[in-house]
Every structure is written in C-alpha cells, then in structure tokens.
Amino acid sequence: MSKQNDVIVLGIFVADLAFYAPRMPVIGETLAGSNFVSGPGGKGGNQAVASARAGASTGFITRLGKDAFGDTGLKTWAAEGVTPFADITEDDPTGAAFIFVNDETGENAVIVVPGAAGGIDGAMVERYADEIAGAKVFVTQLEQPVGAALRGLEIARAASVITVFNPAPAEAFSDAIFPLCDYITPNETEAEDLTGIKVDNLADARRAGDALLAKGVGTALLTLGETGALFHSRDVSELIPAAKIDKVVDTTGAGDAFNGCFAAALARGEPPLRAAHFANIGAGISVTRAGTAPAMATYGEIIAKLKADAS
C-alpha cells in the first residue's frame, strides 16, 4: 500500500504551449511573438506542484495518454515529489493548452483540450477513494468532467477530509456540490457565473460571497487579481491585499498557485485565514515568472516574502 499524502488533488494534466506577444492576432493574421515556453500544465497538475513545493506531501489523481506529453507529466511529478495516481491509456492523447500571454501586462487567454483527462469519471475516482479518504485536504476543479469532481468531493466529505473546490473554468454544475465545499475559490468571473452578481469592487465580492454561503459553502475565498483575495465566512470577511511584486510576467498560473499553496497550508494545520495569506504570497511570486507549474513558489520563498513584507 502506498503512503498516504496530506493533500490529494484531482484534475487534469496537459502540456502548456505558451506564446508571448503584444496582442492576440485577428483571424487571418500572422503575428510575430516575443517568446515561447512549453512545459507541464493543467489546473490539477499545477495545483499539485504548487502544493508539493509549498511543503505538503501531495498526490495527484489524473488520466494520461501513453505519449511524450504524458511522459512529461510523469517526469515532472518525479522531480517535484508528487505521487501520481494516473490511469494511462493508449486510446486518447494527453491533453494540451494553447496560452496567449500579453508580453507587456502578463495577462493571458487560454484554450485547453483535456485529451485523455476528459475520460476521468466517477468510477475512476472511486478507485482512488482510499487515497482521498486518507488525506487531510482534497482539491479539485472543473477541467475534468463535473461528475468526477462531485464524486471526489463526496468521498472526501464522508471521510471528514477538508475540501477545496476551485470552480474553474466556469462550468454549470449541480447545486449538490456547494454543501460539499469547505472552501470554494472562484475568481471574479467565476463568482459572477455562480451567483449572478457582477464583481466590480469589494462590496460586490462580499455580496457574491454571501450568495455562495447561502448555497451551503463553508467559506468563500474569492481571488480578485491585483486587488488580492477576499476571505469570506460567516464569521470573518477580510480582504487580503495582493502581494507586493516588482513586475508581472505571466498571470496564467496564479489561481493554481493560490489553491495549491492554500491546501498545503491547511494540511500543515495553519488557521484558514493565515493559510489564505500564505497562498496569496505564493500566487504573487508565481506571476513574476513565465509558465505555470514551473513558476510555482517554494515554501522557503513564500516564508521569506512574508517576513520581508511584514518588516
């Protein structure tokens, strides 16, 4: 029997293909870019790497094709200390993501094709029920089918495992998911999709947070880009300002950094609000680097930044 991991992430792995340019080309136009970066990605894969670098023993449940991109995933997890629980198929290729990054602002646009990971379903998740139930924190998102996320959250909740649900990308799902979430972590767009409340300012974010609590969520943790993050529970509503950084290079992995670091801090026993501060710094460090998984911060880097900002 494999050792239990403190954090289990369910999600997809894809190969990220990032193109840097001043703007997106229009249809029919060829545009010269300034940089190209390829590497490991997928929200689940990124969050697993972020959690491991942030100090948690981490396992990752996913599905890969038997191909070069799949090999990249396996090599990445071996290097990062992530335990893979990966079904490997010869029927479907490992997925890939096209990422446009504005080379002046770091803002991004993404097209993701999940490939083999699109075949993750509830029955597959059930096979890893012992790994989920043995963890301290379970994390999932919506790049794999919704039914798989629901089953993972059900297994975690039944075992009293802390649940972190990142409802990204925006996707319709059953209201049955909300009461299974100790923490839900949407960005502004996703919060609007879930609540119908457009999030343009902090007051809007708090109203959206209230709406999520009313749906049964334990705590709403809204990531608000350069504004920071709102920790919103029934007892506390605190804005955590964005980390102080010199230059934004690439924002693509910021949300994944936040979720992975948050899960690692919770697994370590940090109080939730302190864990959110830790995650916020991890996300801030990630945007100063190109790429997604390779941009994730280490525990030591985050602690050093927290101390520096406090001094």
Q: Concatenated DSSP letters for 163-211? A: EEE---S-----GGGGGG-SEE--BHHHHHHHHS---SSHHHHHHHHHH
Question: Which of 293, 264, 223 has its CA nearest to residue 39?
Answer: 293
- Going across the sheet that includes 82-89, the strands are 82-89, 58-65, 7-10, 137-140, 162-165, 183-184, 219-223, 228-232, 237-241
> Alpha-carbon torsion 113, 40, 162, 164, what sign?
negative
Question: Which of 79, 108, 47 has its CA nearest to residue 264?
Answer: 47
- Contact assessment for residue 86 and residue 115, using Cβ atoms and an 8 Å cutoff: no
- H-helix segments, 54-102: 68-80
| Distance from C-alpha of 187 to C-alpha of 185, rounded to nearest angstrom | 7
Task: Record the tokens describing residue 293, joined without a space.
Answer: 């998984």
Instruction: Tell me if residue 256 is catalytic.
Output: yes
> Of residues 6, 200, 256, 309, which has the active-site annotation?
256
Decide: helix, strand or coil at residue 113.
strand
Question: Which of 283, 146, 297 has its CA nearest to residue 223?
Answer: 283
Would you please indicate which residues are annotated as catalytic (active-site) residues?
Answer: 256
